[in-house]
Amino acid sequence: MDKVRLALRVNGEPVDLAIAPNRTLLEVLREDLALTGTKHGCELGECGACAVLLDTRPVLSCLVLALECEGADVVTVEGLAQDARLDPLQEAFSDCGATQCGYCTPGFLITAKALLDERPQATRAEIAEALSGNLCRCTGYIQIFEAVEQAARRISDE
């Protein structure tokens, strides 16, 4: 298959590649850009492990063809920390035990990041709704909701 040129920004850095049209954003992030923080789960849109921000909206990178991201701004979990400082969500996930095996965590962080950017005062019901496309087999979700609430408080205190 003929490769097609693709230019986008990933975590603020310009990226220029040549790829086959059938490759998803998930594959390109993990395999070409070695950004393996974004997880490869079901590949069919059912688990949320592959969520990334595409022009500030959280989307499933396993369902987005990489070529659809021409000119776009993509943020992965690697892009959340600012210099050496973790994002308040990352700190809160660690403090609240919102991570066990950790496979779902990058997807939750990205989805929660988009929620708090849009609604810093999100209620528990809004948090549950926003995260309802992310599956976690370990935590039982409560710690995740608590972590998002704690991060929201930290952000508003800053």
Partner 1 sequence: MMRAGRFRYHVASTVADAAAALADGGPHARLLAGGTDLIPNMKRRQDTPDLLVSLRHVGELRGISVNGETAIHAGTSLDDIVKSAAIRAVHPALHRAASQIASPLIRNTATLGGNLCVDTRCNYYNQTFEWRKSIGFCLRGPVPDGICWVAPSGRRCWATASSDSAPALIALGARLTLLSREGERDIPLEELYADDGACPLTKRADEIVTSIRIPSRVVRSTYWKLRRRGSIDFPALGVAAAIRPGPHGVIEDARIVLGAVASHPLLVPESQLLIGRTLTDNVIEEFAEGAARHARPLDNTDFAMTWRKSVARSFLSGALRELRGDDPSTFPLLARETALRNGWRFE
Ligand X SMILES: Cc1cc2nc3c(=O)[nH]c(=O)nc-3n(C[C@H](O)[C@H](O)[C@H](O)COP(=O)(O)OP(=O)(O)OC[C@H]3O[C@@H](n4cnc5c(N)ncnc54)[C@H](O)[C@@H]3O)c2cc1C
Residue numbers at the binding site for ligand X (CB under 6 A)? 44-46
Contact with partner 1 (CB under 8 A) among 45, 97, 102, 120: 45
One-letter identity of residue 26:
L
45: Cβ contacts below 8 Å, ≥ 6 apart: 60, 62, 63
Which CB atom, from 94 or from 156, has the smaller least distance to ligand FES?
A: 94
Q: What is the dihedral of CA 95, 101, 106, 107, to 10 degrees?
A: -110
Residue 115, burial from CB neighbour count under 10 angstroms (0-12, 13-18, 19+): buried
Q: Is 100 in the site for ligand FES (CB under 6 A)?
A: yes
Which CB atom, from 43 or from 73, has the smaller least distance to ligand X?
A: 43
Which CB atom, from 15 or from 63, has the smaller least distance to ligand X?
A: 63
Alpha-carbon span 157 to 66, nearest angstrom:
38
Which CB atom, from 45 or from 120, has the smaller least distance to ligand X?
A: 45
Residue 90, burial from CB neighbour count under 10 angstroms (0-12, 13-18, 19+): buried
Q: Give min distance, CB of 128 to ligand X, in A.
A: 18
143 binds, among partner 1, ligand FES, ligand X, none (CB under 5 to 8 A by kind): none
Tokens of 16: 């220029």
Alpha-carbon span 3 to 93, nearest angstrom:
40
Positions touching partner 1 (CB under 8 A) are 1, 4, 20-24, 27, 40, 43-46, 48, 51, 54, 57-60, 63-65, 67-68, 70, 111, 125, 129-130, 132-134
Positions touching ligand FES (CB under 6 A) are 40-43, 45-50, 60, 62, 99-104, 136-139
